[in-house]
Structure 1
Amino acid sequence: MTVWLLLFGAILSEVTATLSLRGALDRPALYGVVVVGYALSFAFLALVLRRGMGLGVAYGIWAASGVVLTALLSALLFGEAFTLMKASGIVLIAAGVAVVELGSHRAGRATEAGAEVRA
């Protein structure tokens, strides 16, 4: 469970930094939030990897969640357009992450089964 909380922290830090980057165009003081947010995000992501989550899975979830949350929140906070095309892209991103996650579980089970056969 801890690894998922760390990944959630990485996602929220990255989204906060990215939204602050947009906000810093009007309020330059937000560049400090950008630097801290990205640093925290990478630190959390490193902890996730250190705890054993696969890189493809961790990065896929981190990146896709960041894209989805940033698209949604930028529409709410900055009035950016949220079109049917963007919504379709979000659905495709979510489907792609689900496929990567399912593939990693199947690969893990196959590796475990192979290790049991050799033992």
Structure 2
Amino acid sequence: MKQWLSLLAAILLEVTATLSLRAALDHPAWFAVVALGYLGAFVALSHVLRLGMGVGVAYGVWAATGVALTAVLATFLFGDPLTASMGLGIALVIGGVLCVELGSQAAHAAAPEQEGTNA
């Protein structure tokens, strides 16, 4: 559970930093939020890895969720377009990450069985 909470923190920090880039175009003070957000995101992501989550799963969920949240929030905050094809792309990215996560869980579940057959 700690892994997922830390990953959520990494995602929210990265999305905040990315959206702040847009705000910094008009108000340079937002660059401080950008720097702190990205730094915090990488620290939180490192913590997730230290807690034992696989890098493929952690990075995949982090990146895909970040892309999806940034696209949706930019629509509300900045009036960016969110078309049906963009929605489909977001769904495909999330589906791909879900496949990676499910594959990772299956591999972990099979690992004890494989260790027992090597004797």
Map of 1:49 onto structure 2: 49
* Percent of aligned pairs sharing the same letter: 54
Cα separation, 2, equivalents of 1:14 and 1:60: 14
Q: Specify the alignment match of 1:110 in structure 2.
A: 110
Bigger drift between 103-112 and 86-95 goes to: 103-112
How far off its partner does 1:110 sit? 1.9
Quote the Cα distance in structure 2 between the aligned partners of 1:30 and 1:115. 52
**1:14 alignment partner in structure 2:** 14
The one-letter code of the counterpart of 2:9 is G
Q: What amino acid maps onto 2:39 in structure 1?
A: A
SS of match in other structure, 2:29: helix
**Distance between the aligned counterparts of 1:9 and 1:115, measured in 2?**
35
SS at match of 1:49: helix
Unaligned runs of 5+ in 2: none
So what's the TM-score if we normalise by structure 1? Answer: 0.97
> Match for residue 89 of structure 2?
89
Give the count of matched residue pairs: 119
Q: Report the CA distance between 1:116 and its aligned residue.
A: 2.8
Give the Cα separation in 1 of the matches to 2:98 and 2:83: 23
1:104 maps to a residue whose letter is S
